[in-house]
């Protein structure tokens, strides 16, 4: 068995092809007012047969988004609420598939979406570490030597054997982040998880992510915290109403974005 660290070292020195490739991706959600039930299913089927049209109004969360990320690059995704950032991260980590377009991620990734971060409430923190590592494709034997480090980093030593359902949102986010960085993925997808941690923990996370970046890992990072983005990412993507509005150096994109946010009141659509 090859140790996790060696394995991940060999994969990091890979070819120079882009590690993430997104081409013309559309994601459509069906906007439904009611929960789908047998009655609605039957009715909509009838209507479709008669008028040949769909009942629900289509809503595109992402429209024609294309970009590629090179190995070792760290990219921030910024944008207003509902601009499709989380949808993009979900597509990248394979939780959903695009309606149209192609999407390719080469390499092992860990994704951290939502505050619960894929924990099972009834299980203790320690069991969730093993389970979460397995979700990220790491066998229990391989994560074994890192478990103490994970607990140490998350500062959860007194609570590690209590069920996760009793954790606060900050605690579970800390544990989720700690696991995601310790499974040594080639790519990390982060979705606003840092927002719930306190300032000291955020500092620690950013420091650690800078270290990961220096090791040549790829980071894709959704954040509203522009100072963290400036510190961590050389490149930023600005999503606006599901379209890629700007793609470039993070300073430039953030400047434009902040200018736009100040001159466009948030309630005008």
Partner 1 sequence: MAISLAQRASEPVTLSLNVLRLLQYAANVAILIGAHLIAVQVRLRLTWGNPLGAEYEAQPPLFFLIIAVAQALAYLLASWAARTPLRRWLTPRSQFRLLILGIGLTVLGTLWLLPDLSQLQLVYFGVAAAVVGVGGIVFPARINPQQDSGIFFMHLQRLWQNRALLGLWLRYNIQTRYSQTVLGIFWIVLLPLAMSGVLALAFTQFLRISYDVPFIVFFLAGLVVWQLFSSGIFGGMNAILSKIGLINQVNFPREIAVLLVIGEGLVDFCFTFLAFVVVNALNGIYPSATWLYLPPLLFVLICFTLGLMFFLSSLSLMIRDIPQLFAVIMQLLFYLTPILYPVQNVPEQFRFIFIINPLGLIVQAFRDVTVYGRAPDALSLYYPLVAALTLLYMGYAYFKANESRLADFT
Q: 172-185 burial, b if ≥16 CB within 10 A, otherwise e?
A: bbbbbbbbbbbbbb
Interface with partner 1 (CB under 8 A), residue total 48
Residues 6+ apart with CB under 8 A from 80: 240, 261, 266
Query: Where does this chain touch partner 1 (CB under 8 A) — which range of 37-45, 68-76, 167-175, 240-248?
Result: 37-45
For residue 163, the minimal CB distance to partner 1 (Å) is 9
CA of residue 181 relative to chain centroid, distance:
13
Site residues for partner 1, window 96-155 (CB under 8 A)? Answer: 96-97, 103-109, 111, 113-114, 116-118, 120, 122-123, 127, 130-132, 134-140, 142
Q: Taking CB under 8 A as the rule, does residue 178 contact partner 1?
A: no
d(CA 176, CA 136): 11
When asked if residue 2 is in the footprint of partner 1 (CB under 8 A), the reply is: yes
Strand 243-249 relative to strand 235-240, pairing: antiparallel
Does the footprint of partner 1 cover residue 56 (CB under 8 A)?
no
Angle at 81 between CA 21 and CA 241, to 5 degrees: 60
Based on CB atoms, which residue is closest to partner 1, 106 or 243? 106
The answer to whether the beta carbons of residues 239 and 245 sit under 8 Å apart is yes
Work out whether 41 is an interface residue with partner 1 (CB under 8 A). Answer: yes
* Chain positions contacting partner 1, by CB under 8 A: 1-2, 4, 7, 11, 29-30, 35-39, 41, 90, 93-97, 103-109, 111, 113-114, 116-118, 120, 122-123, 127, 130-132, 134-140, 142, 186
């Amino acid at each position: 068995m090859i140790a996790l660290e060696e394995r991940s070292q060999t994969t990091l020195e890979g070819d120079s092809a882009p590690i993430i490739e997104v081409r013309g991706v559309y994601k459509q959600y069906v906007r439904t007012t009611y929960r789908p039930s047998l009655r609605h299913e039957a009715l909509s089927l009838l209507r479709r047969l008669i008028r040949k049209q769909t009942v629900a109004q289509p809503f595109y969360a992402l429209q024609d988004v294309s970009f590629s990320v090179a190995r070792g690059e760290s990219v921030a995704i910024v944008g207003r609420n509902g601009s499709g950032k989380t949808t993009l991260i979900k597509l990248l980590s394979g939780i959903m598939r695009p309606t149209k377009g192609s999407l390719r991620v080469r390499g092992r990734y860990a994704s951290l979406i939502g505050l619960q971060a894929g924990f099972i409430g009834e299980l203790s923190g320690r069991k969730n570490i093993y389970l979460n590592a397995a979700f990220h494709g790491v066998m229990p034997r391989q994560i074994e030597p890192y478990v103490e480090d994970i607990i140490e980093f998350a500062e959860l030593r007194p609570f590690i054997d209590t069920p996760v359902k009793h954790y606060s949102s900050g605690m579970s986010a800390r544990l989720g982040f700690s696991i995601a960085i310790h499974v040594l993925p080639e790519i990390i997808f982060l979705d606003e998880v840092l927002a719930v941690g306190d300032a000291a923990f955020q500092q620690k996370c950013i420091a650690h992510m800078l270290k990961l970046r220096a090791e040549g890992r790829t980071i894709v990072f959704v954040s509203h915290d522009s100072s963290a983005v400036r510190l961590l990412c050389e490149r930023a993507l600005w999503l606006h109403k599901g379209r890629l509005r700007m793609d470039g150096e993070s300073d430039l994109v953030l400047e434009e974005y902040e200018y736009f946010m100040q001159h466009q009141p948030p309630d005008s659509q």
